[in-house]
Amino acid sequence: MPSQDKIDARFLAPLRRFAAVTALSWAMMALYMFINRRQVGVTFITVEMPPWVPFRPEFFLPYTSLLLLTWLLPVTLQNRDRFHACLRAYLFSWLLVFPWWILAPTLLHRPPLPDGLWAPAFAWLWKVDQPYNVAPCAHAVGPIIAVWFVAREYPAWRWPLIALLLVTLPSIALVWQHRPIDILLGAAAAAIGIAMAETLAKKARTRATSLSGNDPRPENAATSSAIDA
């Protein structure tokens, strides 16, 4: 009969990680929508999509899949410290992005609604998400951070995940939600958040080692999470 620890590691721990990621990512989404829907009487900085970027409605699915990467990919992390660092990187990066939507509000005019198969999807998207909060692009932040930490825990996944990012990140511009420069700014915010979270994790490991007098745990060792406990 499986022990309680094995049951917890196999079933309850992933559920707790899922709950933690859901709470943080959906709180971020709620804040995004609050700012996006409260842009009344604001003087916008109107930005334009570069003429070399086409509008390609068929990239709607890759665009929305990036939200799933942000939401679900960190659930695979079993290393306690790495999972916590991933959540901190999310928080730090989003806190770098959010203020700019208020301090320098941007507006990107959208193309005409496409005909055919993709018309309902874009009618819904543009109704829910108004053409504000353009720079920096928060949509790129979560997937980049999630891929960084998961690729460190599962090296065999590294190149497939990087390839997935390279295929899906351009969709943000191809559906005209953000410009390429906005995506790069979001990527920069993600890099800063990762660096901050990794630095805190390293300091915590060093402090724990000095207090215990033992060698630090291997970075890739899978341990129970405080969230999973």
Summarize pLDDT for 100-151 with one digit per residue, the tens: 999 999 999 999 999 999 999 999 999 999 999 999 999 999 999 999 999 9
Q: Residue 152 pLDDT > 50, yes or no?
A: yes
Question: CA 190 to CA 72: how far, in whole Å?
Answer: 17
CA 183-189-190 angle, 5° bins:
90
* 106, β-bridge pairs: 45
Q: Where are the alpha helices (DSSP H) in the chain?
A: 4-7, 13-37, 60-72, 80-103, 119-128, 141-153, 158-168, 171-174, 180-212
Residue with tokens 């939507």: 101
DSSP three-state, residue 106: strand
Q: What pTM did the predictor assign? A: 0.88
| Cβ atoms of 196 and 89 closer than 8 Å | yes
Span 183-209, pLDDT tens digits? 999 999 999 999 999 999 999 888 877
DSSP three-state, residue 46: strand
* Token pair listed for 191: 């890099």
Q: Hey, how many other C-beta atoms are within 10 angstroms of the C-beta on 43? A: 7
